[in-house]
Amino acid sequence: MTLDRGSSADARYFYLSYAPIPSPDDRLLGDHWVRRFFVDLNAAIDEQPGRRVRRPGFADFVVPPSEDRQAHRQRALTEADVLVPLYTPEYLNRLESRRERDWFRQRVVRAGRAPDGANILPVLWTPSPLRAHRAEQERALLIARDVEAYAESGMSALCRLLIYQGEYQKIVRRMARHIVETAAGSPLQVSSPSIPSAVTAPPPVDIPFRTVLITSDWAPSAGDAALVNGYESLRSQWRPFPGQPPVVDDIVLAVERLRMPARVHDFVPAGDLFEHCPGIIVIDTRVLGTAGTGVIREAVSCLRSWVGVVLIADGPAGEQLDRAAEYFPTHAGLLKVTAYDEWRSGINGLAHRMRRRYLDEHPAYPPPGRPTRRPRLWDSIPPSTE
Protein backbone atom coordinates (compact mmCIF):
# COMPACT_ATOMS: atom_id res chain seq x y z
CA MET A 1 0.00 0.00 0.00
CA THR A 2 1.22 3.51 -0.83
CA LEU A 3 -0.03 6.57 1.02
CA ASP A 4 -0.17 10.03 -0.53
CA ARG A 5 1.93 12.60 1.22
CA GLY A 6 -0.18 15.48 2.47
CA SER A 7 2.59 18.08 2.17
CA SER A 8 6.35 18.28 1.94
CA ALA A 9 6.37 19.31 5.58
CA ASP A 10 5.44 15.71 6.46
CA ALA A 11 8.69 14.45 4.91
CA ARG A 12 12.23 14.09 6.26
CA TYR A 13 15.33 15.00 4.37
CA PHE A 14 17.26 11.82 5.10
CA TYR A 15 17.48 8.62 7.13
CA LEU A 16 20.90 7.75 8.56
CA SER A 17 21.42 3.98 8.34
CA TYR A 18 24.45 2.58 10.16
CA ALA A 19 25.72 -0.51 11.98
CA PRO A 20 26.05 0.33 15.68
CA ILE A 21 29.31 -0.58 17.33
CA PRO A 22 28.69 -3.22 20.02
CA SER A 23 28.96 -1.65 23.45
CA PRO A 24 28.60 -2.93 27.02
CA ASP A 25 25.88 -0.25 27.36
CA ASP A 26 23.42 -1.32 24.68
CA ARG A 27 21.18 1.64 25.54
CA LEU A 28 23.65 4.09 23.97
CA LEU A 29 23.41 3.79 20.19
CA GLY A 30 25.75 5.42 17.70
CA ASP A 31 29.32 6.26 18.62
CA HIS A 32 30.46 9.85 19.16
CA TRP A 33 31.67 10.33 15.59
CA VAL A 34 28.50 9.00 13.94
CA ARG A 35 26.54 11.41 16.11
CA ARG A 36 28.81 14.29 15.18
CA PHE A 37 28.46 13.51 11.46
CA PHE A 38 24.67 13.41 11.84
CA VAL A 39 24.62 16.82 13.54
CA ASP A 40 27.03 18.33 10.99
CA LEU A 41 25.00 17.02 8.05
CA ASN A 42 21.77 18.48 9.42
CA ALA A 43 23.51 21.80 10.05
CA ALA A 44 24.89 21.86 6.50
CA ILE A 45 21.39 21.22 5.14
CA ASP A 46 20.10 24.20 7.12
CA GLU A 47 22.78 26.37 5.46
CA GLN A 48 21.66 25.47 1.94
CA PRO A 49 19.80 28.25 0.05
CA GLY A 50 16.04 28.13 -0.06
CA ARG A 51 13.29 27.63 2.49
CA ARG A 52 13.47 24.52 4.66
CA VAL A 53 10.09 22.78 4.32
CA ARG A 54 11.10 19.28 5.44
CA ARG A 55 11.94 17.94 8.86
CA PRO A 56 15.61 17.27 9.74
CA GLY A 57 17.25 13.94 9.07
CA PHE A 58 16.61 10.96 11.33
CA ALA A 59 18.92 8.59 13.22
CA ASP A 60 17.71 6.08 15.78
CA PHE A 61 19.92 7.48 18.53
CA VAL A 62 17.74 10.60 18.70
CA VAL A 63 14.85 8.45 19.99
CA PRO A 64 14.58 8.46 23.81
CA PRO A 65 15.30 5.03 25.36
CA SER A 66 11.79 4.98 26.81
CA GLU A 67 10.20 4.99 23.35
CA ASP A 68 9.90 2.25 20.73
CA ARG A 69 12.99 2.73 18.55
CA GLN A 70 11.88 0.13 16.02
CA ALA A 71 8.58 1.92 15.44
CA HIS A 72 10.38 5.24 14.99
CA ARG A 73 12.84 3.66 12.54
CA GLN A 74 10.08 2.18 10.43
CA ARG A 75 8.15 5.44 10.32
CA ALA A 76 11.23 7.48 9.42
CA LEU A 77 12.08 5.07 6.60
CA THR A 78 8.67 5.79 5.08
CA GLU A 79 9.14 9.55 5.36
CA ALA A 80 12.74 10.15 4.23
CA ASP A 81 13.55 11.28 0.72
CA VAL A 82 17.19 10.13 0.88
CA LEU A 83 18.80 7.14 2.58
CA VAL A 84 22.33 7.80 3.88
CA PRO A 85 23.95 4.43 4.71
CA LEU A 86 27.35 4.50 6.40
CA TYR A 87 29.32 1.68 4.75
CA THR A 88 31.61 -0.28 7.06
CA PRO A 89 32.54 -3.97 7.03
CA GLU A 90 29.94 -4.47 9.77
CA TYR A 91 27.23 -2.68 7.80
CA LEU A 92 27.80 -4.66 4.62
CA ASN A 93 27.77 -7.97 6.52
CA ARG A 94 24.90 -7.17 8.88
CA LEU A 95 21.47 -8.49 7.95
CA GLU A 96 19.46 -5.76 9.67
CA SER A 97 21.41 -2.98 7.93
CA ARG A 98 20.95 -4.60 4.53
CA ARG A 99 17.25 -5.04 5.28
CA GLU A 100 16.85 -1.30 5.84
CA ARG A 101 18.68 -0.51 2.63
CA ASP A 102 16.80 -3.10 0.54
CA TRP A 103 13.44 -1.91 1.86
CA PHE A 104 14.27 1.70 0.98
CA ARG A 105 15.32 0.56 -2.48
CA GLN A 106 11.82 -0.88 -2.92
CA ARG A 107 10.42 2.61 -2.30
CA VAL A 108 12.78 4.03 -4.91
CA VAL A 109 11.85 1.37 -7.49
CA ARG A 110 8.12 1.90 -6.86
CA ALA A 111 8.72 5.55 -7.68
CA GLY A 112 10.04 4.50 -11.09
CA ARG A 113 13.69 5.29 -10.40
CA ALA A 114 16.93 3.35 -10.48
CA PRO A 115 17.46 1.41 -7.22
CA ASP A 116 20.86 3.06 -6.67
CA GLY A 117 19.97 6.50 -7.94
CA ALA A 118 20.09 9.87 -6.20
CA ASN A 119 17.71 8.86 -3.41
CA ILE A 120 20.38 6.61 -1.90
CA LEU A 121 23.59 8.39 -0.90
CA PRO A 122 26.08 5.85 0.51
CA VAL A 123 28.99 7.12 2.57
CA LEU A 124 32.29 5.27 2.83
CA TRP A 125 32.60 5.42 6.61
CA THR A 126 35.27 2.73 7.16
CA PRO A 127 36.86 0.97 4.15
CA SER A 128 36.46 -2.80 4.03
CA PRO A 129 39.40 -5.03 3.03
CA LEU A 130 37.11 -7.64 1.47
CA ARG A 131 36.81 -8.10 -2.30
CA ALA A 132 33.10 -8.86 -1.99
CA HIS A 133 32.49 -5.30 -0.77
CA ARG A 134 34.36 -3.48 -3.54
CA ALA A 135 31.40 -2.86 -5.84
CA GLU A 136 29.30 -1.35 -3.07
CA GLN A 137 32.19 0.79 -1.87
CA GLU A 138 32.73 2.10 -5.40
CA ARG A 139 29.22 3.53 -5.30
CA ALA A 140 30.06 5.28 -2.01
CA LEU A 141 33.14 6.91 -3.59
CA LEU A 142 31.12 8.83 -6.19
CA ILE A 143 30.28 11.72 -3.86
CA ALA A 144 33.96 12.52 -3.23
CA ARG A 145 36.17 10.56 -5.59
CA ASP A 146 38.39 13.64 -5.92
CA VAL A 147 39.22 13.63 -2.19
CA GLU A 148 42.07 11.15 -1.81
CA ALA A 149 41.85 10.86 1.99
CA TYR A 150 38.17 9.91 1.73
CA ALA A 151 38.88 6.96 -0.56
CA GLU A 152 41.87 5.81 1.49
CA SER A 153 40.61 6.24 5.04
CA GLY A 154 36.87 6.83 4.90
CA MET A 155 34.64 9.53 6.33
CA SER A 156 35.14 8.30 9.88
CA ALA A 157 38.84 9.20 9.79
CA LEU A 158 38.12 12.57 8.19
CA CYS A 159 35.60 13.30 10.94
CA ARG A 160 38.02 12.32 13.73
CA LEU A 161 41.32 13.87 12.61
CA LEU A 162 42.01 17.59 12.75
CA ILE A 163 44.29 17.45 9.71
CA TYR A 164 41.33 16.38 7.53
CA GLN A 165 38.72 18.88 8.77
CA GLY A 166 38.85 20.89 5.54
CA GLU A 167 38.13 17.81 3.42
CA TYR A 168 35.50 16.63 5.91
CA GLN A 169 33.52 19.88 5.82
CA LYS A 170 33.80 20.01 2.03
CA ILE A 171 32.24 16.55 1.67
CA VAL A 172 29.53 17.24 4.26
CA ARG A 173 28.47 20.39 2.36
CA ARG A 174 28.48 18.42 -0.89
CA MET A 175 26.27 15.74 0.67
CA ALA A 176 23.90 18.37 2.08
CA ARG A 177 23.50 19.97 -1.34
CA HIS A 178 22.82 16.56 -2.90
CA ILE A 179 20.16 15.76 -0.29
CA VAL A 180 18.37 19.11 -0.63
CA GLU A 181 18.39 18.96 -4.43
CA THR A 182 17.16 15.35 -4.44
CA ALA A 183 14.38 16.11 -1.96
CA ALA A 184 13.24 19.00 -4.13
CA GLY A 185 13.58 17.30 -7.51
CA SER A 186 12.96 13.61 -6.76
CA PRO A 187 10.81 13.31 -3.63
CA LEU A 188 9.42 9.92 -2.61
CA GLN A 189 5.87 9.14 -1.53
CA VAL A 190 5.24 7.82 1.94
CA SER A 191 4.95 4.02 1.99
CA SER A 192 3.43 1.49 4.33
CA PRO A 193 5.49 1.55 7.58
CA SER A 194 6.59 -2.07 7.69
CA ILE A 195 9.89 -3.71 6.83
CA PRO A 196 9.75 -7.23 5.33
CA SER A 197 11.85 -9.91 6.98
CA ALA A 198 13.11 -11.26 3.64
CA VAL A 199 16.34 -9.68 2.46
CA THR A 200 19.18 -10.66 0.20
CA ALA A 201 21.95 -12.42 2.12
CA PRO A 202 25.34 -10.73 2.37
CA PRO A 203 27.73 -11.77 -0.39
CA PRO A 204 30.33 -14.41 0.44
CA VAL A 205 33.56 -12.95 1.79
CA ASP A 206 37.15 -14.14 2.00
CA ILE A 207 37.35 -15.28 5.62
CA PRO A 208 34.40 -15.72 7.99
CA PHE A 209 34.56 -16.44 11.71
CA ARG A 210 32.70 -19.72 12.27
CA THR A 211 30.96 -20.78 15.46
CA VAL A 212 29.24 -24.14 15.94
CA LEU A 213 26.78 -25.08 18.68
CA ILE A 214 26.45 -28.45 20.40
CA THR A 215 23.47 -28.45 22.75
CA SER A 216 21.88 -31.22 24.77
CA ASP A 217 19.40 -32.09 21.97
CA TRP A 218 22.16 -32.59 19.42
CA ALA A 219 21.65 -35.34 16.84
CA PRO A 220 23.68 -36.30 13.75
CA SER A 221 20.80 -35.28 11.49
CA ALA A 222 20.67 -31.78 12.97
CA GLY A 223 20.13 -28.99 10.46
CA ASP A 224 23.12 -27.40 8.83
CA ALA A 225 21.40 -24.09 8.08
CA ALA A 226 23.67 -21.08 8.28
CA LEU A 227 22.73 -18.61 10.98
CA VAL A 228 23.75 -15.00 10.44
CA ASN A 229 22.06 -12.35 12.60
CA GLY A 230 18.63 -13.74 11.70
CA TYR A 231 18.63 -17.35 12.86
CA GLU A 232 16.95 -20.41 11.39
CA SER A 233 17.48 -22.95 14.15
CA LEU A 234 15.83 -23.49 17.51
CA ARG A 235 19.28 -24.01 18.99
CA SER A 236 20.17 -20.45 18.10
CA GLN A 237 17.72 -19.43 20.84
CA TRP A 238 19.54 -21.45 23.51
CA ARG A 239 19.57 -19.36 26.70
CA PRO A 240 21.64 -21.14 29.38
CA PHE A 241 21.67 -18.01 31.54
CA PRO A 242 18.20 -17.08 32.89
CA GLY A 243 17.04 -13.62 31.92
CA GLN A 244 19.88 -13.11 29.42
CA PRO A 245 19.84 -13.13 25.59
CA PRO A 246 20.68 -16.23 23.54
CA VAL A 247 24.40 -17.00 23.51
CA VAL A 248 24.43 -16.67 19.71
CA ASP A 249 23.64 -12.97 20.02
CA ASP A 250 26.75 -12.39 22.13
CA ILE A 251 28.88 -14.42 19.72
CA VAL A 252 27.80 -12.34 16.73
CA LEU A 253 28.51 -9.10 18.61
CA ALA A 254 31.97 -10.35 19.57
CA VAL A 255 32.78 -11.28 15.97
CA GLU A 256 31.46 -7.99 14.56
CA ARG A 257 33.93 -6.17 16.81
CA LEU A 258 36.65 -7.95 14.85
CA ARG A 259 35.24 -6.70 11.52
CA MET A 260 34.68 -10.26 10.33
CA PRO A 261 31.44 -11.82 9.06
CA ALA A 262 29.82 -14.18 11.57
CA ARG A 263 28.87 -17.67 10.44
CA VAL A 264 27.01 -19.67 13.09
CA HIS A 265 25.88 -23.26 12.56
CA ASP A 266 24.56 -26.23 14.40
CA PHE A 267 27.42 -28.70 14.66
CA VAL A 268 27.73 -31.11 11.74
CA PRO A 269 30.94 -33.20 11.94
CA ALA A 270 33.39 -32.42 9.14
CA GLY A 271 37.16 -32.68 9.20
CA ASP A 272 37.60 -29.46 7.20
CA LEU A 273 35.08 -27.43 9.19
CA PHE A 274 37.72 -24.94 10.34
CA GLU A 275 40.35 -25.59 7.70
CA HIS A 276 40.10 -22.10 6.21
CA CYS A 277 38.62 -19.95 8.95
CA PRO A 278 39.00 -19.28 12.68
CA GLY A 279 36.21 -20.28 14.99
CA ILE A 280 34.73 -21.42 18.28
CA ILE A 281 32.92 -24.59 19.37
CA VAL A 282 30.30 -23.90 22.05
CA ILE A 283 29.21 -26.99 24.02
CA ASP A 284 26.36 -27.47 26.45
CA THR A 285 27.88 -29.94 28.94
CA ARG A 286 24.51 -31.64 29.36
CA VAL A 287 25.23 -33.29 26.02
CA LEU A 288 27.18 -35.90 27.98
CA GLY A 289 23.91 -37.20 29.36
CA THR A 290 21.99 -37.16 26.07
CA ALA A 291 24.00 -37.62 22.89
CA GLY A 292 26.80 -39.33 24.78
CA THR A 293 30.51 -38.78 24.33
CA GLY A 294 30.59 -39.44 20.58
CA VAL A 295 29.67 -35.89 19.59
CA ILE A 296 32.40 -34.43 21.79
CA ARG A 297 34.96 -36.76 20.21
CA GLU A 298 33.73 -35.54 16.81
CA ALA A 299 34.27 -31.96 17.96
CA VAL A 300 37.80 -32.76 19.12
CA SER A 301 38.61 -34.15 15.67
CA CYS A 302 37.68 -30.76 14.14
CA LEU A 303 40.03 -28.75 16.35
CA ARG A 304 42.75 -26.51 14.97
CA SER A 305 45.02 -24.20 16.93
CA TRP A 306 42.78 -21.29 15.88
CA VAL A 307 39.59 -22.94 17.18
CA GLY A 308 38.48 -22.14 20.72
CA VAL A 309 36.22 -24.32 22.88
CA VAL A 310 33.62 -23.01 25.33
CA LEU A 311 32.04 -25.39 27.84
CA ILE A 312 28.83 -24.05 29.38
CA ALA A 313 27.31 -25.76 32.41
CA ASP A 314 23.59 -25.05 32.55
CA GLY A 315 22.88 -26.23 36.06
CA PRO A 316 25.17 -27.87 38.68
CA ALA A 317 28.56 -26.94 37.34
CA GLY A 318 31.70 -28.62 38.60
CA GLU A 319 31.33 -32.27 37.66
CA GLN A 320 29.87 -31.58 34.21
CA LEU A 321 32.62 -29.15 33.28
CA ASP A 322 35.41 -31.44 34.48
CA ARG A 323 34.01 -34.48 32.66
CA ALA A 324 33.64 -32.58 29.37
CA ALA A 325 37.10 -30.99 29.69
CA GLU A 326 38.77 -34.41 29.93
CA TYR A 327 38.06 -35.05 26.24
CA PHE A 328 40.04 -32.03 25.00
CA PRO A 329 43.83 -31.70 24.77
CA THR A 330 45.54 -29.41 27.24
CA HIS A 331 46.53 -26.97 24.46
CA ALA A 332 42.91 -26.45 23.38
CA GLY A 333 42.53 -23.35 25.54
CA LEU A 334 39.19 -24.22 27.11
CA LEU A 335 36.87 -21.56 28.44
CA LYS A 336 34.71 -22.98 31.24
CA VAL A 337 31.58 -20.97 31.96
CA THR A 338 28.96 -21.22 34.69
CA ALA A 339 27.75 -17.60 34.90
CA TYR A 340 26.72 -14.95 32.39
CA ASP A 341 29.42 -12.47 33.41
CA GLU A 342 32.08 -15.11 32.73
CA TRP A 343 30.53 -15.83 29.35
CA ARG A 344 30.15 -12.19 28.26
CA SER A 345 33.71 -11.22 29.14
CA GLY A 346 35.29 -14.49 28.05
CA ILE A 347 33.75 -14.78 24.58
CA ASN A 348 35.17 -11.44 23.43
CA GLY A 349 38.72 -12.32 24.45
CA LEU A 350 38.48 -15.84 23.00
CA ALA A 351 37.21 -14.62 19.63
CA HIS A 352 40.04 -12.09 19.43
CA ARG A 353 42.70 -14.72 20.22
CA MET A 354 41.37 -17.20 17.66
CA ARG A 355 41.31 -14.56 14.92
CA ARG A 356 44.89 -13.59 15.76
CA ARG A 357 46.08 -17.22 15.78
CA TYR A 358 44.50 -17.90 12.42
CA LEU A 359 46.18 -14.92 10.78
CA ASP A 360 49.53 -15.80 12.39
CA GLU A 361 49.57 -19.57 12.05
CA HIS A 362 47.35 -20.73 9.21
CA PRO A 363 49.67 -22.97 7.16
CA ALA A 364 47.65 -23.32 3.97
CA TYR A 365 46.76 -19.81 2.93
CA PRO A 366 45.29 -19.06 0.47
CA PRO A 367 42.36 -21.49 0.47
CA PRO A 368 41.58 -23.48 -2.67
CA GLY A 369 40.39 -21.44 -5.62
CA ARG A 370 41.37 -18.12 -7.05
CA PRO A 371 44.52 -16.69 -5.39
CA THR A 372 44.11 -13.80 -2.97
CA ARG A 373 46.48 -11.74 -0.88
CA ARG A 374 46.55 -12.62 2.80
CA PRO A 375 44.16 -10.05 4.29
CA ARG A 376 45.06 -7.57 6.97
CA LEU A 377 41.73 -6.70 8.52
CA TRP A 378 42.63 -3.13 9.44
CA ASP A 379 44.09 -2.20 6.04
CA SER A 380 42.31 -0.35 3.32
CA ILE A 381 41.08 -2.26 0.27
CA PRO A 382 43.76 -4.62 -1.05
CA PRO A 383 44.94 -4.27 -4.63
CA SER A 384 43.17 -6.23 -7.31
CA THR A 385 44.62 -9.62 -8.20
CA GLU A 386 43.01 -9.61 -11.63
Question: In this structure, are 105 and 216 located in the same domain?
Answer: no
pLDDT of residue 13: 92
190 within some domain: no
Answer whether 0.75 is exceeded by the pTM.
Answer: no
* Pair (238, 172) in one structural domain: no
How many distinct structural domains can be found in the chain?
2
Mean pLDDT on 313-328: 73
In the prediction, which pLDDT does 241 show? Answer: 84
Residues 179 and 216 in one domain: no
- When pLDDT is cut at 50, 70 and 90, the band that residue 234 belongs to is very low
Instruction: For residue 376, tell me if it sits in a domain.
Output: no
160 and 12, same domain (yes or no): yes
Mean residue pLDDT across the chain: 77
Residue that finishes a domain, picked among 137, 153, 185: 185
Domain shared by 15 and 152, yes or no:
yes
If asked whether residues 244 and 134 sit together in one domain, one would say no
CATH number of the structural domain spanning residue 134? 3.40.50
For 30, left (φ over 0), alpha (ψ -120 to 50), or beta? Answer: left
Q: Which of 45-49, 99-103, 266-270 has the lowest mean pLDDT?
A: 266-270
In a domain, 191, yes or no: no
Shared domain check, 232 and 160:
no
Asked if pLDDT for residue 349 goes beyond 80, the answer is yes
Q: Can you give the residue range of the structural domain that contains 263?
A: 209-361
Q: How far apart are the first and last CA of the chain?
A: 46
Report pLDDT digits (tens) over 289-300.
Answer: 666 677 788 888
Q: For 114-144, how does the pLDDT look when each residue is reduced to its tens digit (9 = 90+)?
A: 888 899 999 999 887 777 788 899 999 999 9
Among 12-21, 48-57, 223-232, 259-268, the least confident range: 223-232
- Whether the predicted pLDDT of 111 surpasses 80: yes
Same domain, 347 and 233: yes
- pLDDT, average across residues 315-329: 74
* 192, part of any domain: no
> What is the predicted pLDDT for the residue at 133?
83
pLDDT at residue 348, rounded to an integer: 87
Within this chain, do residues 292 and 332 fall inside the same structural domain, yes or no? Answer: yes
CA distances for 344 relative to 23, 216, 315, 338, 339, angstroms: 12, 21, 18, 11, 9
pLDDT for residue 176: 96
Distant-in-sequence, close-in-space partners of 228: CB < 8 Å, separation ≥ 6: 93, 95, 201, 202, 252, 261, 262, 263, 264
